[in-house]
């Protein structure tokens, strides 16, 4: 390979890694973890949330009550699967609203360390072609140009596993029966990147969220999540999904998360160590919110290669449009 070709290859790898890092940073601002792929059915212990077709008020109460019972989640029997990081053994701890820690490893040792505390977040990947650790304070990042590289608000991804808070009196429409045992609610939201419509698909018996979609003002899908394998934890009286699929169509990025078992409202390890940014020997900290930070060109675009989007059920594309919004494509 010629020197120029080597430089282009290294730049492409760095672009790819940085885009992957940005994605994971948003994903794990209070998200879950994964395990081996399971075949999920309805938990026989799960109580019915509704005994008749639910009203909007019924759904708001059930969704908010379930979310409100979760302050902490932990899993240490997990696997993260995404593109060049398939099947990584993973441990995840989170504490709403801004504390999380994800550590993944392969047979060769640690691969990823992603975390957040009240002040800052960080992302480390052993396979990064440059030996750096990306980090930023929450406050500075929200005001930095780097923020514009994210297709969704980072806080959306705590909702992606079903921990959603529905504002009573918010701009909701529905519920609309889908004819498949689920109902649909649409909510108008103001986000930093512009107004969006959030579509929630909810089980009309158990009340858990099975799909979420963010649609921008042009009717274009920005991000989607699909959850399954819901299990009821009687001690906490909460239902949680054990498989999460995330898709961001603009970036052609998709990945899946599975959880074998949650510890609900319980964390393992020392809080001082759990929420502290670690030192990585041989890796230089890089503040992505610093004024002088120059991100790689088109990091998200360069992450598209080799990643296939989640196959969409044909049922979704057949859904009617509401108030000027086209069906999700």
- Indicate whether 141 pLDDT > 60: yes
The 10s digit of each residue's pLDDT in 237-252 is 999 999 888 888 876 7
The reported pLDDT for the residue numbered 63 is: 97
Does domain 3-317 bear CATH number 2.50.20.10?
Answer: yes
The reported pLDDT for the residue numbered 64 is: 96
The 10s digit of each residue's pLDDT in 13-41 is 333 444 444 444 444 433 333 333 444 56
Instruction: Tell me the average pLDDT of the chain.
Output: 76
Mean pLDDT of 183-198: 87
| Alpha-carbon gap, residue 77 to 214, rounded angstroms | 30
| Alpha-carbon gap, residue 10 to 26, rounded angstroms | 25
- Indicate whether 157 pLDDT > 50: yes
- Indicate whether 177 pLDDT > 50: yes
The 10s digit of each residue's pLDDT in 294-316 is 765 544 333 333 333 333 333 33
The reported pLDDT for the residue numbered 329 is: 38
The reported pLDDT for the residue numbered 215 is: 93
Residues 6+ apart with CB under 8 A from 97: 30, 155, 158
The reported pLDDT for the residue numbered 194 is: 76
With CA atoms as reference, report the closest residue to 273 among 99, 74, 32: 99
Question: DSSP string of 278-297?
Answer: PP-TT-EEEETTSTT--PPS
The 10s digit of each residue's pLDDT in 53-111 is 999 999 999 999 999 999 988 888 888 887 656 688 888 787 877 788 888 888 888 98
DSSP letter for 6, please: H
The reported pLDDT for the residue numbered 231 is: 93
How many residues in the chain?
329
Give percent above pLDDT 70 in the chain.
71
Mean pLDDT of 218-234: 92
277 Cα distance to chain centroid: 21
Alpha-helical (H) ranges within the chain are 3-27, 56-68, 138-142, 156-159, 271-274, 314-317
The 10s digit of each residue's pLDDT in 266-305 is 988 788 889 999 999 999 999 988 988 876 554 433 333 3
With CA atoms as reference, report the closest residue to 45 among 236, 298, 251: 236
CA 205, 206, 208, 211 dihedral sign is negative
* Lowest-confidence pick of 177-181, 249-253, 259-263, 323-327: 323-327
The reported pLDDT for the residue numbered 238 is: 95
The reported pLDDT for the residue numbered 85 is: 62
Beta-bridge partner residues of 73: 94, 264
The 10s digit of each residue's pLDDT in 194-224 is 789 999 999 999 999 999 999 998 999 989 9
Beta-bridge partner residues of 283: none
If one counts every other C-beta atom within 10 angstroms of the C-beta of residue 284, the result is 9
If one counts every other C-beta atom within 10 angstroms of the C-beta of residue 106, the result is 15
């Amino acid at each position: 390979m010629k020197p120029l070709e080597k430089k282009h290859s290294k730049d492409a790898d760095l672009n790819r890694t940085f885009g992957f890092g940005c994605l994971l940073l948003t994903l794990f601002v209070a998200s879950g973890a994964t395990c081996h792929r399971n075949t999920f059915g309805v938990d026989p212990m799960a109580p019915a949330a509704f005994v008749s077709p639910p009203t909007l008020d019924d759904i708001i109460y059930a969704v908010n009550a379930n979310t409100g019972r979760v302050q902490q989640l932990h899993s240490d029997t997990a696997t993260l699967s995404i593109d060049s990081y398939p099947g990584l053994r993973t441990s995840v701890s989170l504490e709403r609203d801004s504390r999380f820690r994800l550590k993944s490893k392969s047979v060769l040792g640690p691969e990823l360390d992603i975390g957040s505390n009240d002040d800052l977040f960080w992302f480390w990947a052993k396979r990064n072609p440059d030996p750096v650790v990306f980090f930023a304070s929450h406050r500075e990042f929200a005001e930095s140009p780097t923020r514009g590289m994210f297709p969704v608000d980072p806080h959306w991804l705590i909702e992606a596993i079903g921990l959603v808070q529905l504002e009573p009196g918010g701009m909701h429409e529905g519920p609309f029966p889908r004819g498949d045992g689920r109902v649909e609610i649409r909510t108008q939201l103001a986000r930093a990147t512009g107004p969006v419509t959030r579509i929630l698909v909810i089980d009309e018996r158990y009340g858990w969220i099975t799909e979420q979609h963010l649609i921008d003002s042009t009717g274009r899908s920005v991000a989607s999540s699909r959850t399954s394998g819901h299990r009821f934890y009687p001690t906490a009286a909460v239902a949680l999904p054990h498989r999460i699929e995330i898709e961001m169509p603009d970036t052609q990025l998709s990945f899946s998360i599975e959880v074998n078992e949650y510890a609900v409202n319980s964390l393992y390890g020392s809080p001082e160590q759990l929420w502290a940014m670690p030192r990585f020997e041989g890796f230089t900290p890089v503040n992505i919110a610093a004024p002088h930070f120059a991100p790689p060109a088109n990091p998200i675009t360069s992450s598209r290669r080799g990643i296939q989007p989640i196959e969409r059920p044909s049922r979704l594309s057949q859904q009617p449009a509401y108030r000027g919004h086209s069906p999700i494509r």
